[in-house]
């Protein structure tokens, strides 16, 4: 496993991060969650992402139980707040009251004294940006969080918050967590250049397009128990993207790679990239995905992948 600095910060993390969404405290049993987390550690993954809203707090709780018997210093734990966790007008948002109470709740569920990376889960246009920044800066100074970052933010908001931090002499955000994969590239042209400019590390979510960029959907069918089962939106995307997925898989197999390895290695070659955040329901998936670390793609490889991604008209 290779390690990278998270943006321009001094925090070093594995270049593959493991996320909790849907699976931990939800789709898979706690014993299976422990097996997935153990497999990640064995592969050298030391960077883990969750959020207060995942499984209504249960994802943080199960991670907290797992972390208890580990050396906390060797783990980088990221979580998030902003979406609704309790009733009332301050039960959600990026205002000081919500952030402070949500942070205390996450610390309790995770059974830890500090959060390494605290992220605002999505923009809150009802709250002045300065208030959000000051609350996060205070949490850093109080030792409750070590760093903070944004999720689902656009380029303009990233730039504005960086200018505000400079002006007010506050800590700056060090990371951006947006949806980004070979099949979802909106953030690439808009946010990637801004992240490079601001020294912000990208930690993209759903880097395998929720599993579509793995071997198991290549015959066009939805396997029993997979995330696409009963998920009409994902099944539709499978149909739409199947020719591209097949062409990418052919390219990967010719280089002795699995499609998931290629998809993650491709992200790791993009500007501002620190660590794609994978999800996994089984230890084997973690092992396969972790092996993308260190895969080298040449300029020619990247150009050929671009041609595949642009579709038949680009050829
Ligand atoms: N900030 C946000 O708004 C936001 C939104 C979404 C996610 N996230 C974060 O990003 C993390 C990852 O998102 P994601 O789960 O969508 O990522 P993903 O890696 O694109 O998809 C993960 C899912 O794909 C399947 N899979 C993964 N590796 C596989 C392999 N090698 N072979 C076959 N199937 C495989 C598994 O599902 P099945 O086995 O069930 O098919 C797995 O749970 C989340 O846990 C969360 O931390 C953040």
DSSP character string of the chain = --EEESTTSS-EEESSEEE-TTIIIIIS-HHHHHHHHHHHHHTT--EEE--TTGGGGHHHHHHHHHHTTS-GGG-EEEEEE-S--SSSTTSSSSSHHHHHHHHHHHHHHHT-S-EEEEEE-S--TTS-HHHHHHHHHHHHHTTSEEEEEEES--HHHHHHHHHHHHHHT-----EEE-B-BTTB-HHHHHHHHHHHHHTPEE--B-TTGGGTTSGGGTTS---TTSTTTT-HHHHHHHHHHHHHHHHHHHHHHTTT--HHHHHHHHHHTSTTB---EE--SSHHHHHHHHTTTT----HHHHHHHHHHHH-GGG-
- Is residue 54 part of the annotated active site? The answer reads yes
312, pLDDT greater than 90: no
pLDDT digits (tens, 9 = 90+) for 180-203: 999 999 999 999 999 999 999 999
Please give the average per-residue pLDDT across 252-275, as a whole number: 98
Instruction: Assign 315 a pLDDT band (cuts: 50, 70, 90).
Output: very low
Instruction: Report how far residue 106's alpha carbon sits from residue 167's, in angstroms, rounded to the nearest whole number.
Output: 30
Instruction: Report how far residue 312's alpha carbon sits from residue 315's, in angstroms, rounded to the nearest whole number.
Output: 6
Q: Could you identify the atom of ligand 1 that is nearest to the CA of residue 229?
A: 41
pLDDT digits (tens, 9 = 90+) for 81-136: 999 999 999 999 999 999 999 999 999 999 999 999 999 999 999 999 999 999 99
240, pLDDT greater than 80: yes
| pLDDT for position 257 | 98
The residue to which tokens 């050929």 are assigned: 304
> What residues does each domain of the chain span?
3-211+260-295
Phi, psi of 83, deg, nearest 5: -85, 165
Phi, psi of 115, deg, nearest 5: -110, 130
Instruction: Report how far residue 260's alpha carbon sits from residue 262's, in angstroms, rounded to the nearest whole number.
Output: 5
Mutate which of 210, 226, 233, 284 for ligand 1? The one with the most ligand atoms within 8 Å of its CB, which is: 210
- CA end-to-end span of the chain: 35
Ligand 1 pocket list (CB less than 6 A): 19-21, 23, 49, 121, 151-152, 177, 205-211, 214, 216, 226-227, 260, 277-281, 285, 288-289
| pLDDT for position 313 | 56
| pLDDT for position 36 | 98
| Region of poorest pLDDT, from 62-66, 155-159, 232-236, 308-312 | 308-312
Please give the average per-residue pLDDT across 212-226, as a whole number: 96
| pLDDT for position 269 | 98
Tokens of 302: 């990247």
pLDDT digits (tens, 9 = 90+) for 264-286: 999 999 999 999 999 999 999 99
Instruction: Report how far residue 52's alpha carbon sits from residue 122's, in angstroms, rounded to the nearest whole number.
Output: 13
Listed residue (96, 98, 77) closest to 88, CA to CA: 98
Please give the average per-residue pLDDT across 216-242, as a whole number: 96
pLDDT digits (tens, 9 = 90+) for 62-83: 999 999 999 999 999 999 999 9
Residue with CA closest to ligand 1 atom 47: 19
Instruction: Assign 311 a pLDDT band (cuts: 50, 70, 90).
Output: confident
Please give the average per-residue pLDDT across 203-225, as a whole number: 97
Listed residue (235, 219, 295, 307) closest to 263, CA to CA: 295
Please give the average per-residue pLDDT across 13-18, as a whole number: 98
| pLDDT for position 280 | 98
Residue with CA closest to ligand 1 atom 14: 206
3-211+260-295: CATH topology: TIM Barrel (3.20.20)
Instruction: Assign 287 a pLDDT band (cuts: 50, 70, 90).
Output: very high
Q: Crossing angle for the helix pair 129-141 and 96-110, nearest 10 degrees?
A: 40
60, pLDDT greater than 70: yes
| pLDDT for position 314 | 46
**Is the distance from CB of 176 to CB of 205 less than 8 angstroms?**
no
Looking at every residue in the chain, the average pLDDT score rounds to 97
Mutate which of 279, 291, 293 for ligand 1? The one with the most ligand atoms within 8 Å of its CB, which is: 279
């Amino acid at each position: 496993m290779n390690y990278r600095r998270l943006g321009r910060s001094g925090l070093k993390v594995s270049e593959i991060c493991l996320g909790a969404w849907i699976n931990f405290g939800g789709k898979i049993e706690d014993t299976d969650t422990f097996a997935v987390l153990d497999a990640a550690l064995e592969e050298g993954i030391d960077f883990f992402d969750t959020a207060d809203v995942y499984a209504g707090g249960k994802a943080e709780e199960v991670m907290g139980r797992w972390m208890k018997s580990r050396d906390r210093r060797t783990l980088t734990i990221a979580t998030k707040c902003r979406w609704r966790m309790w009733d009332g007008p301050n039960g959600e948002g990026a205002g000081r009251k919500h952030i402070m109470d949500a942070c205390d709740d996450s610390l309790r569920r995770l059974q830890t004294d500090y959060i390494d990376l605290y992220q605002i889960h999505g923009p809150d246009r009802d709250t002045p940006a300065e208030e959000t920044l000051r609350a996060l800066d205070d949490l850093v100074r109080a030792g409750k969080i070590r760093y903070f970052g944004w999720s689902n933010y656009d380029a303009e908001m990233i730039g504005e918050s960086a200018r505000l931090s400079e002006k007010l002499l506050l800590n700056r955000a060090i990371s951006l967590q947006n949806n980004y994969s070979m099949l979802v590239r909106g953030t690439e042209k808009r946010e990637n250049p801004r992240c490079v400019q601001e020294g912000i590390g990208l930690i993209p979510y759903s880097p395998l397009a929720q599993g579509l960029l793995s071997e198991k959907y290549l015959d066009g069918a939805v396997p029993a128990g997979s995330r696409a089962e009963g998920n009409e939106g994902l099944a539709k995307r499978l149909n739409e993207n199947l020719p591209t997925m097949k062409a990418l898989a052919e390219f990967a197999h010719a280089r002795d790679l699995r499609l998931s390895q290629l998809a993650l290695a491709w992200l790791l070659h993009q500007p501002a990239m620190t660590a794609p955040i994978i999800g996994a329901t089984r230890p084997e998936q973690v092992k396969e995905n972790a092996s993308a670390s260190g895969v080298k793609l040449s300029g020619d490889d990247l150009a050929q992948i671009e041609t595949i991604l642009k579709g038949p008209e680009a050829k």
